[in-house]
Structure 1
Amino acid sequence: MEIRRLNPEDAVLYKALRLEALQNHPEAFGSDYEAEKDRPVDRYATRFQSEQAATFGAFHEAQLVGVVTVVCSELDKMRHRANLFAMYVTPSIRKQQVGQQLVQEALRALEERPWIEQVHLSVVRTNEAAKALYRSLGFESYAIEPRALKIDDTYHDEELMWYRF
């Protein structure tokens, strides 16, 4: 398994995995399949060049099988914070610690920015596997955001977690 930061050349693979994630687990993401299916690949490629964000990918046999993104705040008063977003591992490769490796790589990258003191994330409250993963890496829960997402007539609460360096 190769874990590395994605670059613009990975945009096509990323988009395909992102759309898979949005179809398989719409409750886990703020965006949705309809909003992203027609998004140009160049938009992802540009995002991969950002100094404020980094997306890490897990590759198995040249296929992108997992991703996670970290975004650092640009605001002076929030410069000490980063956010972890868009975590996804394709079902066929789950339970092989790919998610753990992705988050660990993202945290290592953030450690290179000594001004980053903490990392925040939100996870749908019913996703016990993801919450267990984050807790195993040192994230702690600090709040529940009720009805954070609404899909059709169903609401989903999100658990807010943070990690302190």
Structure 2
Amino acid sequence: MGILKNNLILREATEADAAVILDIQECVVAELDYLITAPEEFNKTVEEQQEWIHKVIQSERETIVAAEIDGAVVGWIAFQTSSRSRLAHTGSIGMMIKPSFRNRGIGKALIMYILDWAAENPLIEKVCLGVLSTNERAIRLYEGLGFVEEGRKVKDIKFSEDRYADDVLMYKFV
């Protein structure tokens, strides 16, 4: 399924997208402020990324969606679930957008796509996410789309000797 709006196409990602998805991850990790992963800890290969994408697209309870503008992937979102039966009705999203393409509605479009997908999937009832408390713009976006904070892991992320962030846990029932 694809959506076209202002040159934005949302489509299921494929293994052929692995290199560009990996490139976007590397850019976001290098920014230091939005992820738990430190740049020196991020060392995925294109082959590992291809395997991950393959696993996700083979699952009826998971998906990965690419955001394309003028033929180039500029962002992506993944919805992943647990293999445990008591958690099978819920899953988490992770999303990354190239820095130069932020603040254009791409993140909102990706999340809305996942929420629609989850609502149509009879196996999914709850969409979850974690976001650093320092990422106020993302928190406002999630709240605007109906996500609710369900808890915090206080000072869970340590950037430096005296700089921390909470891991804010949010959810939305679909």
What is the TM-score normalised by the length of structure 2? 0.85
Residue 14 (structure 2) pairs with residue 7 (structure 1): yes
- Structure 1 residue runs of 5 or longer lacking an equivalent are none
> How far 1:135 sits from its partner (Å)?
1.1
- Alpha-carbon contact 1:47-1:53 (below 8 Å) kept: no
- Structure 2 residue runs of 5 or longer lacking an equivalent are 1-7
Higher mean displacement: 128-137 or 106-115: 106-115
| Pairwise CA RMSD | 1.6
1:61-140 correspondence runs (5 A): 61-85=70-94, 87-140=95-148
Equivalent residue of 1:116, what SS? coil
Partner of 1:43: 48
Partner of 1:54: 63
> How far 1:80 sits from its partner (Å)?
1.2
- Paired with 1:92 and 1:40, the residues of 2 have a C-alpha distance of 24
Equivalent residue of 1:48, what SS? helix
- Alpha-carbon contact 1:21-1:90 (below 8 Å) kept: yes
What is the TM-score normalised by the length of structure 1? 0.90
Amino acid at match of 1:130: A
How many positions carry a matched residue from both structures?
A: 162
Deviations 1:76-111 (A, max 9, x none): 1111111112x2222322221100111111222222
Amino acid at match of 1:60: I
> How far 1:64 sits from its partner (Å)?
1.7
Equivalent residue of 1:49, what SS? helix
> How far 1:115 sits from its partner (Å)?
2.2
Q: Percent identity?
A: 23
Deviations 1:42-99 (A, max 9, x none): 11111111215422221112222112211012211111111112x2222322221100
Residue 35 (structure 2) pairs with residue 19 (structure 1): no
